[in-house]
């Protein structure tokens, strides 16, 4: 099996115009905000809540946040709920103003 090499991030390429680099940074920030929002929604929905019987103790509560964050990041990678796009457009308008 051949490994596919990872492409460099757009912001690290000095040959790209500034507006493309800014768009990449804004999109990344918007996706992080959406992931944080989704993580909190998963927490409110009870994902990772300790079980009543045979629970994992104090460690389970601490590590469940990592599970929620990972799941929220994967949801954003899969398209999310559209919040990142709305945030990106709003931040872009503010940046251009």
Q: Domain residues of the chain, as ranges?
A: 17-45+60-96
Using CA atoms, how far apart are residues 93 and 87, in angstroms rounded to an integer?
Answer: 10
Q: Give the residue, 37 or 2, on which the prediction is more confident.
A: 37
Please list the alpha-helical segments (H only) found in the chain: 18-44, 58-77, 83-96
Q: What's the pLDDT score for residue 47?
A: 73
**pTM, rounded to two decimals:** 0.71
Q: What's the pLDDT score for residue 22?
A: 82
Q: Give the residue, 5 or 78, on which the prediction is more confident.
A: 78
pLDDT, tens digit, 9 for 90 and up, residues 20-73: 778 889 999 999 999 999 999 998 888 766 666 666 677 777 788 898 999 999
Q: What's the pLDDT score for residue 7?
A: 46
Task: Please name which of 95, 93, 78, 97 lies closest in space to residue 18, comparing C-alpha atoms.
Answer: 95
Using CA atoms, how far apart are residues 71 and 38, in angstroms rounded to an integer?
Answer: 9
């Amino acid at each position: 099996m051949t490994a596919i090499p990872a492409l460099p991030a757009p912001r690290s390429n000095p040959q790209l115009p500034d507006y493309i680099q800014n768009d990449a940074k804004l999109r990344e920030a918007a996706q992080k905000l959406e992931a944080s929002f989704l993580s909190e929604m998963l927490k409110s929905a009870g994902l990772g809540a300790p079980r009543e019987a045979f629970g994992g103790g104090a460690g389970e509560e601490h590590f469940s946040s990592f599970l929620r964050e990972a799941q929220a990041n994967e949801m954003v990678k899969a398209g999310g709920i559209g919040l990142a796009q709305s945030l990106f457009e709003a931040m872009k308008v503010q940046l251009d103003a």
